[in-house]
């Protein structure tokens, strides 16, 4: 449905999107992930014809968005929930969209009901919360009953019930055979919602795979230990390295270990007389996989975050 080939968007000397090539699978929810500044919103704007590519192409069903005869019947999109006229009511906003695109007026009430805004239909949009604006934007995206939905951060401003609702909505749209392409920074939601993931960093694709495969590729097999005594920490690390277990210091009292399960590590600690305050094997998560994938591609980073920690340092580096 969505096809990108060597898509590049450059502003001055900066390439915001750098040669993106991928296909968004049909009848699935595809998560579009990346750190801030990775180029996600720009890519979506180019797909929807709001920005022109510097090079390459972005096609919807084999055509550029501008060449679609009735675009809202093919593509529904929500990019900015705040792009609303504050003096209009929700109903009048959607009615204007319906009339200008040849949709029956009755469709307005249908989508208002779908997104839970029937009771606020005659309320001015200037009084809407961000979450209400998100719901109204989704209603507008659904108005033409399209086979493709594009959402940019649709859960921003939604309360927990709203987040759960949109998760169910996206899954149901995919079950109906529609294609959903959604960007989000909420990894826990994408883990629950997305069938497929496309991850970019600095404008380039770094992963394009089913969600389960992305998660399975993380180093979730690590074991985390906390040793409160600094001397014992180093003794323990030496013993683990001698036993060919990978050791990385991740804090004043913490080690992250790879190459052995918690039973073996617990036995080594017992043999060495090491007192542990933590011994855990974290469950696999999309958040951890995402952080590993994008660690080198984060453009805006506060001091002390992941890249400031040696990634493959032995325990001695922390002394």
Going by C-alpha positions, the residue among 186, 189, 214 that lies closest to residue 199 is 214
Three-state secondary structure call for residue 302: coil
With 0-12 CB in 10 A as exposed, 13-18 as middle and 19+ as buried, what is 205?
middle
User: pLDDT by residue for the chain (319 residues), tens digit each?
Assistant: 899 999 999 999 999 999 999 999 999 999 999 999 999 999 999 999 999 999 999 999 999 999 999 999 999 999 998 888 999 999 999 999 999 999 999 999 999 999 999 999 999 999 999 999 999 999 999 999 999 999 999 998 899 999 999 999 999 999 999 999 999 999 999 999 999 999 999 999 999 999 999 987 775 567 999 999 999 999 999 999 999 999 999 999 999 998 888 899 999 999 999 999 999 987 778 988 898 898 776 665 555 455 443 333 344 433 3
Task: Check: CB of residue 255 under 8 Å from CB of residue 247.
Answer: yes
2-209: in CATH 3.40.30.10: no
Record the pTM. 0.80
Q: Tell the CATH superfamily of the 223-318 domain.
A: UreE, C-terminal domain (3.30.70.790)
In the chain, the N- to C-terminal Cα span, in Å, equals 54
Angle at 197 between CA 192 and CA 199, to 5 degrees: 125
Bridge partners (DSSP) of residue 182 are 31, 151
DSSP assignment of 113-129? HHTT-GGGTTSBGGG--
Domain boundaries, the chain: 2-209, 223-318
List C-alpha distances in Å: 129 to 84, 133, 142, 154, 158: 12, 6, 20, 14, 9
Going by C-alpha positions, the residue among 88, 8, 92, 14 that lies closest to residue 299 is 14
If residue 265 lies in a helix (H) or strand (E), which one and from where to where? helix 262-272
DSSP assignment of 133-194? HHHHHHHHHHTT--SEEEEESTTTT--HHHHHHHHHHHHHHHHTT-EEEEE-S-HHHHHHH-
**Count of Cβ atoms closer than 10 Å to residue 129 Cβ:** 12
Chain segment 199-250, per-residue pLDDT in tens: 999 999 999 999 999 987 775 567 999 999 999 999 999 999 999 999 999 9
Q: Are strands 29-33 and 196-201 parallel, antiparallel or unpaired?
A: parallel
Residue the block writes with tokens 């180019």: 46
């Amino acid at each position: 449905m969505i096809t990108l080939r060597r898509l590049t968007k450059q502003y001055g000397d900066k390439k915001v999107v750098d040669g993106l090539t991928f296909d968004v699978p049909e009848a699935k929810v595809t998560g579009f992930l990346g750190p801030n500044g990775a180029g996600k919103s720009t890519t979506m704007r180019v797909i929807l014809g709001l920005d022109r590519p510097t090079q390459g192409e972005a096609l919807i069903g084999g055509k550029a968005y501008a060449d679609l005869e009735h675009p809202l019947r093919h593509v529904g999109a929500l990019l900015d929930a705040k792009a609303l006229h504050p003096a209009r009511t929700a109903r009048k906003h959607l009615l204007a969209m319906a009339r200008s695109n040849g949709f029956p007026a009755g469709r307005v009430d249908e989508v208002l009901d779908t997104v839970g805004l029937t009771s606020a239909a005659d309320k001015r949009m200037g009084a809407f919360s961000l979450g209400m604006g998100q719901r109204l934007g989704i209603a507008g995206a659904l108005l033409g009953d399209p086979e493709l939905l594009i959402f940019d951060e649709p859960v921003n401003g939604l309360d927990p019930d709203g987040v759960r609702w949109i998760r169910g909505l996206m899954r149901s749209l995919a079950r109906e055979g529609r294609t959903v392409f959604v960007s989000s920074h909420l990894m826990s939601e994408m883990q629950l919602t997305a069938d497929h993931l496309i991850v970019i960093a600095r404008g380039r694709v770094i992963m394009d795979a089913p969600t389960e495969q992305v998660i399975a590729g993380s180093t979730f097999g690590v074991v985390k230990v906390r040793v409160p005594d600094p001397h014992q920490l180093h003794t323990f690390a030496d013993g683990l390295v001698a036993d060919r277990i990978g050791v990385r210091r991740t804090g004043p009292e913490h080690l992250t270990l790879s190459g052995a399960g918690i039973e073996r590590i617990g036995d080594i600690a017992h043999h060495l007389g090491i007192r542990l305050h933590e011994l855990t094997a974290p469950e696999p998560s999309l958040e951890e996989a995402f952080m590993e994938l994008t660690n080198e591609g984060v453009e805006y980073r506060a001091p002390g975050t992941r890249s400031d920690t040696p990634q493959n340092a032995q325990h001695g580096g922390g002394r």
